[in-house]
Structure formats: C-alpha cells, structure tokens
Amino acid sequence: MKKKLESILVCPLCKGPLVLRGRGQKELVCEKDKLAYPVRRGVPVLLHADARSIDD
C-alpha cells in the first residue's frame, strides 16, 4: 500500500488514525476502537463487518 494512502486513511468509526501492521497478512489497526481492518491485495477494506477485534 502506498505511503500517501496510508497517511490519509482514518478509522471509519472514530475517525482516528490507523496503523499498518503485519508482514504476510497486513491490517490497518485502530488502537482507540481495538479493531483491525484487513488489507486485501493492497486494498484496505474499511468495513466494520470485516474488522476483527484485537486484544491488548
């Protein structure tokens, strides 16, 4: 995923910043909402239904 795209993406729920994590299977993580959104074939999927909850 391109750095410019990463810099403008925000969480669809709280509008907070997203952090790109992972090596093989990448995700965009919202620390505030504790949600991880998948990145499939280089395209971020920012649907709440596709997000997974993350633990501390």
Nearest to 6 by CA among 33, 37, 49, 52: 37
55 conformational bin, left if phi > 0, alpha if psi -120 to 50, beta if neither: beta
Q: Which domain holds residue 46?
A: 3-53
- Output the pLDDT for position 3: 73
pTM of structure: 0.85
Question: Domain with 22 in it: what CATH number?
Answer: 2.20.25.10
Region 33-53 average pLDDT? 94
pLDDT score, position 7: 81
pLDDT single digits (tens) 7-32: 899 999 999 999 999 877 899 999 99
Residue 50: the pLDDT is 96
Which pLDDT score, from 0 to 100, does residue 22 have? 86
**Gap between the terminal Cα atoms of the chain:** 25
For the chain, the domain total comes to 1
